[in-house]
Amino acid sequence: MSGGPSESDALVPISGLQHLMYCERQAALIHVERVWEEDAATVAGKLFHERVDRAGTERRRSGRVVRALPLRSERLGLVGQADAVEYHADASVPGGWRPFPVEYKRGRLKSERADRVQLCAQALCLEEMHGVAVPEGALFYGASHRRVSVRFDVALRQETEAAARRLAGFIQERWVPRAVFDARCPPCSLRARCLPEPVSQPGRAARHLARMLNLEEGE
Amino acid sequence: MSLQLNTLFVTTDGAYLRKDHETVVVRVEETTRVQVPLQHLASVVCFGRVGVSPELMSALAEAGVHVAFFSPTGRFLARVEGVPGGNVVLRRGQFRCADDAARTLELARAMVAGKVYNARQFLLHARRDAAEVRRQGLADAAEHLASSLRALGRAGTLDAVRGVEGNAAREYFAAFPLLVKREDEAFRFGGRSRRPPKDRINALLSFGYALLAQDCAGAAAGVGLDAAVGYLHEERPGRLSLALDLMEELRAAVVDRLVLSLVNRGQVGPGDFLEDAAGGWRMSDAARKTFLVAYQEAKQVEVQHEFLGQQVPWGRVPHLQALLLARVIRGDLEAYPPFRVR
Ligand code: SF4
């Protein structure tokens, strides 16, 4: 193979931004190496999303809701899907409807920052696709039935674009950052594949091997 | 036919496997012998004339269940795997490593270190409860292996590493008769022989290594490595070099130990083997069954994985070592840490 990655290889899945916000290595393991251990949590999450993701349009008094809407941004190389996009009546928008993304989160709130970045990425796609400003959206947390509205301000947009560029870089370079073992690792579903402890201690494997060659006792 | 630790062993000639809803049904002469849910399976291992329906084959491939076929004598024939994991990046790294003499040398050295170290541990353990007359011989062999390890540290080429391995293996198998406690002439061990195994113990060893190699091949494939591209073992058509590489450090502790315990405890007897006209020996169906059950039980015994600092069942060790090797190939670890037996 020669040359750079093909166009579709360089695309960044919006869901990957959440992983990136949690741990860069996790994002790279999933989106570069395609390691994915389905633990109970991710399976449950998938089932939940299957229910939410039934595509279609509903009409409500306040406007229409489109479910499982495919999203794309050429500028940022993002692709993904919105759980739901509400179209709010707004006379100041050409056509009269302003998109308002809503992302459903199963269970408890894990990292609101990661969720906001993911939602903002959806908004950036919607802006590019519809050619209208999308200033606001909402996160809906299943366990608490809490709906949190999110404003896409400059800081959040910058953070989101930076995350998208960073993940695109990993995917393009096929780069997986080294592990740093910290508090994020014990609950991480990729821990068994990532092996953060041995991998983050430089020289440990070489010492282990040298001890075997020299018949020294273990640690 | 038995289901052990998520592996379905089909040992009945003429058995046919097919899919029924989400289960595997094993039928022999129009009667259903076993029916197991697909979701509980990790692999299916077939011996002799065993058929698998195309529908089941694709369901197994999709579910990531390995299917392996062996001849009635336990010779590996084929393994069916689904679409390989999306891990092309890792595989390219694996091939690049194999093309890099310096990295190949270091990996091969580490693999031989694991093999020789663990073989020596095995002899030292055996020495503790060996009869007085055998102790010196075992101690001497262990000392030879210790000097092999020292030589290994100095080996500057792949050939030198392979040379050390060959010498160590000869020393080890020369001492092997000291581990057989049966006086019976039938269990005289005449040095390691393969294709065909020239005595009963060799027949047991060959069978055990074939099983372990399959487990290692499955482990390699499971982490996204290509089981055919190895470092210590030269690549040859049809050879699972990487599986053989991964197997080295586990041979003594897993297979040799099992073979000796079956023989020494009388779980297999002289009549459990068949000799063919050319002087090759193979196990009877009954003996193979005994072996398989013991092998699967051994895989459930927990051991300390020193490098990872966890207790793990033996059956998981090939997988963990394959995972560690993948980390070395990717550059996360600077050296391959072989599994070390206490
Ligand atoms: S185990 Fe730790 S370092 Fe590894 S992916 Fe998870 S959070 Fe990141």
Indicate whether A91 pLDDT > 90: no
Q: What is the pLDDT of residue A135?
A: 96
Q: What is the pLDDT of residue A17?
A: 93
pLDDT digits (tens, 9 = 90+) for B200-214: 888 999 999 988 998
Sequence-distant (6+) residues with CB within 8 A of A34 are B85, B86, B87
- Residue with the larger pLDDT of the pair B92 and A193: B92
The answer to whether B172 and B205 have CB atoms below 8 angstroms apart is no
SS3 content of chain A, % helix, strand, coil (to 5): 40, 25, 35
* Mean per-residue pLDDT, B54-63: 85
Q: What is the pLDDT of residue A165?
A: 93
Indicate whether A69 pLDDT > 80: yes
- Residue with the larger pLDDT of the pair A127 and A189: A127
Closest CA to B176 of B125, B137, B133, B129: B137
- Residue with the larger pLDDT of the pair A103 and B45: A103
Indicate whether B272 pLDDT > 60: yes
Q: What is the pLDDT of residue A61?
A: 59
pLDDT digits (tens, 9 = 90+) for B65-120: 778 787 766 666 777 766 655 467 788 889 999 999 999 999 999 999 999 999 99
- A208 CB neighbours in chain B (<8 A) are 306-307, 335, 337, 340
pLDDT band for A24, please (50, 70, 90 cuts): very high
Instruction: Report which protein residue has its CA nearest ligand 1's atom 3.
Output: A179
% chain A with pLDDT above 70: 79
pLDDT band for B3, please (50, 70, 90 cuts): very low
Written as six digits, the tokens of B17 are 């496997």
Q: What angle do CA B104, B173, B98 make, to 5 degrees?
A: 10
Instruction: Enter the DSSP assignment of B24.
Output: E
Q: What is the pLDDT of residue A82?
A: 93
pLDDT digits (tens, 9 = 90+) for B156-166: 899 999 999 99
Q: With a 6 A CB cut-off, is A196 part of the ligand 1 pocket? A: yes
Q: Are the beta carbons of A215 and B117 separated by less than 8 Å?
A: yes
| ipTM, interface predicted TM-score of the complex | 0.72
Q: What is the pLDDT of residue A9?
A: 56
Q: Are the beta carbons of A193 and B150 separated by less than 8 Å?
A: no
Q: With a 6 A CB cut-off, is A194 part of the ligand 1 pocket? A: yes
* Mean per-residue pLDDT, B141-149: 92
